Amino acid sequence: MGNYNDIEKEFIERTLALIGQYEHLMHKYEFEEQYNYTLLLNCLLGLIVMPKEKTITFIPKERITTDLKSMLGIPNSKINPEITDIKELIIALRNSIAHFNISVDSKDQNFLIDEIVFKDKEIREDYEVARFQAKELLPFIRYYASWILKNYDFRKVNQ
């Protein structure tokens, strides 16, 4: 695909397409060479950090509830209880990602990624923003990206 016609919107669409392309190719690689979580963390950089300045005003201050977490695709993930709404969560995730305060946890000796931990060391060295279940990261990315795109279209129509 060539140049961007509308970089803000197309970057998000292309990021989602990139994930889809990788999903279709991943099986061609040995398990040890499948870097799906590396790709997803890179995509977070492109979806949360880069467009933040333009999208932050359109993120709702909707309270984080069990239902909202399910809609976001993260029903089993843990969000710091001090973070009470989705806008706070996105800002906190943005800071964690931008400063690369991310780690992964494994539950066994195989060192598979079970959880992705987002921290904000500027608040406190051990301050956890969120602890995502690994299998919930992709649904979260897809939901959040589609939400940004819907709001983008709404903004364009109402300018």
Let me know if residue 34 belongs to a domain: yes
Q: The domain containing residue 27 runs over which residues? A: 7-157
The answer to whether the beta carbons of residues 154 and 11 sit under 8 Å apart is no
105: Cβ contacts below 8 Å, ≥ 6 apart:
113, 114, 115, 116, 117, 131
Let me know if residue 49 belongs to a domain: yes
Closest CA to 39 of 56, 52, 59, 22: 22
CA atoms within 13 A of residue 13's CA, in its CB half-sphere: 12
Query: For 73, phi and psi rounded to 5 degrees?
Result: 85, 15
Note the pLDDT of residue 3. 84
Note the pLDDT of residue 1. 56
Let me know if residue 17 belongs to a domain: yes
d(CA 156, CA 159): 5
More confidently predicted of 157 and 89: 89
Residue 69: how many other CB atoms lie within 10 Å: 19
pLDDT tens-digit map of 109-143: 877 889 999 999 988 888 999 999 999 999 999 99
128: Cβ contacts below 8 Å, ≥ 6 apart:
78, 80, 117, 118, 119
The tally of domains found in the chain comes to 1
Let me know if residue 2 belongs to a domain: no
* Cα radius of gyration rounded to whole Å, the chain: 16
Bridge-partner residues for 79, per DSSP? 130
Sheet holding 102-105, edge to edge: 78-79, 128-133, 115-119, 102-105
Let me know if residue 12 belongs to a domain: yes
pLDDT tens-digit map of 12-53: 888 898 888 888 877 887 877 767 788 888 888 888 887 656
Let me know if residue 1 belongs to a domain: no
Tokens 């695709």, residue? 73
Dig out the tokens for 71 from the structure.
């809609």
